[in-house]
Homo-oligomer: A and B are copies of this chain.
Amino acid sequence: MTTVKVVRDILEANDRLAAENRRRFDEAGVHVVNLMSAPGAGKTTLLERTIAGLGRELRIGVVEGDIQGSQDAERIERAGAVAVQINTNGACHLDANMVASAVAELDLASLDLVVVENVGNLVCPAEFKVGEHAKAMILSLPEGDDKPAKYPLMFHESRVLLINKMDLAPHVSADPERIERDARAINPQIEVFRVSASTGEGLEGWYDWLRALHRA
């Protein structure tokens, strides 16, 4: 029972810090997306594409969450956006406190949109708010069409599902229809875009969704 209490306390403390982050974002007029996926689903590649596709319309900043290293933040900066790296030193998700520290390094007044790229993990990131306006997730097609049933919380919490690596559809057995159907069974409001971040296929819907978030 003690363990349960500790976990609940951690989540409550996190929720309070997330609400503070959110107030800071709202005051600065910045919209924030918490982007989640399994390792290797294509979060950074999607962001590189998004910076190329939307970077002239929206001023984009990225908070990069990784266990260690700064390869992803370097990729984002090469793509032309400002990036702050968080190293979680073993933790399998970002929390509101980590994001508060990272955001202190950003000049929020000079940004329209901040994407928080979470640690690659389909489980815990969905439990920890970081102050975002919306959660978005990527499922890459080669991961298989059984993932909504196996990791329902992430599908439940996300406002957007990007089914990525659609260019591999001819070579894998996973069925994007089944992914979409099972995701909607968990979360009827979820917006689904079938994309390939590496070829650029299908990204216009995602860009429109980000534009609408920015106008909201």
**A residues bordering B, Cβ < 8 Å?**
6, 38-41, 66-69, 71, 90-92, 119-124, 127, 140, 142-144, 146-147, 149-153, 165, 167-168, 171-173, 198
Contacts and interface: CB of A to CB of B under 8 A. Distances in A.
Contacts of A127: 90
A71 B71 CA distance: 36
A6, A68, A124, A150 — which one has the most chain B CB atoms within 10 A of its CB? Answer: A150
| Identical chains bound together, number | 2
Given A40-B38, A149-B71, A171-B171, A142 B121 contact: no
A173 B167 CA distance: 12
A182 to B, nearest CB: 11
A149 B40 CA distance: 12
Contact of A168 (B66, B146, B168): B168
Given A123-B119, A165-B142, A40 B92 contact: no
A127 B149 CA distance: 26
In the complex, the 4 A-B pairs of residues with the closest C-beta atoms, listed nearest first: A40-B143, A92-B123, A38-B39, A142-B142
A165 B122 CA distance: 20
Given A38-B38, A171-B171, A71 B150 contact: yes
A144 B37 CA distance: 14
A140 B120 CA distance: 14
12 contacts: A38-B38, A38-B40, A39-B150, A39-B151, A41-B143, A66-B150, A67-B150, A68-B152, A69-B150, A92-B124, A120-B150, A121-B122
A122 B40 CA distance: 11
A149 to B, nearest CB: 6
A140 B153 CA distance: 24
Contact of A167 (B38, B121, B171): B171
A92, A127, A165 — which one has the most chain B CB atoms within 10 A of its CB? Answer: A92
Given A38-B143, A120-B122, 7 more contacts: A39-B147, A67-B151, A71-B150, A90-B123, A90-B127, A92-B123, A142-B142
